[in-house]
Amino acid sequence: MAITLLDPEGLPKIGAYRQVSVATGSRLVFVAGQVAWDADGTTVGAGDLVAQVEQCYLNIGTALAAAGGSFDDVAKLTVYVVGWTPDKLPLFLEGAGRAAAKLGVTPVPPGTLVGVAALDVPEHLVEIEATAVLA
């Protein structure tokens, strides 16, 4: 595996993600920001943050598989959430957990979550991009 995830002493242990990823692979994979579209381009879960987070993660899993990888190869996630407030964290984690169960992984690479005013179309509540390293 090309990615080792760490929680160094001296940094808080968040649980939802690790603070550091060490990449030793040789192929970088950059997955464009994924929104809650299904394969036909139809929005999944309009108005439902949990369903949209789940779909974003599933889309990332599909993209990584096409490149020969999986969430185990993700070095970093960047998450954009419309109108983010801390009370939305349980919904975000539920969506990520549902996707993890379907994908058979525990996606906990380092991540950055950014609150935004809007995304590409009004019904999209979240967009997630990934950077992965494959051996």
Please state the separation of Cα 116 from the chain's center in Å: 16
Whether residue 5 contacts residue 111, with contact meaning beta carbons closer than 8 Å, is answered with no
Give the integer Cα–Cα distance in Å for 86 and 102. 26
Going by pLDDT thresholds of 50, 70 and 90, the confidence category of residue 10 is very high
Choose between 94 and 15: higher pLDDT. 94
| pLDDT recorded at residue 14 | 87
Give the integer Cα–Cα distance in Å for 90 and 87. 7
Give the integer Cα–Cα distance in Å for 18 and 13. 7
Whether residue 52 contacts residue 27, with contact meaning beta carbons closer than 8 Å, is answered with no
133, containing H or E segment = strand 126-134
Structure-block tokens of residue 115:
């609150």
**pTM, full prediction:** 0.90
| pLDDT recorded at residue 16 | 84
| pLDDT recorded at residue 87 | 97
Give the integer Cα–Cα distance in Å for 94 and 90. 6
Going by pLDDT thresholds of 50, 70 and 90, the confidence category of residue 15 is confident
Structure-block tokens of residue 8:
């160094």
Going by pLDDT thresholds of 50, 70 and 90, the confidence category of residue 29 is very high
Q: Which residues are paired to 10 by β-bridges?
A: none
pLDDT greater than 90 at residue 25? no
Q: Name the CATH superfamily for 3-134.
A: RutC-like (3.30.1330.40)
Q: What is the mean pLDDT of the chain?
A: 94
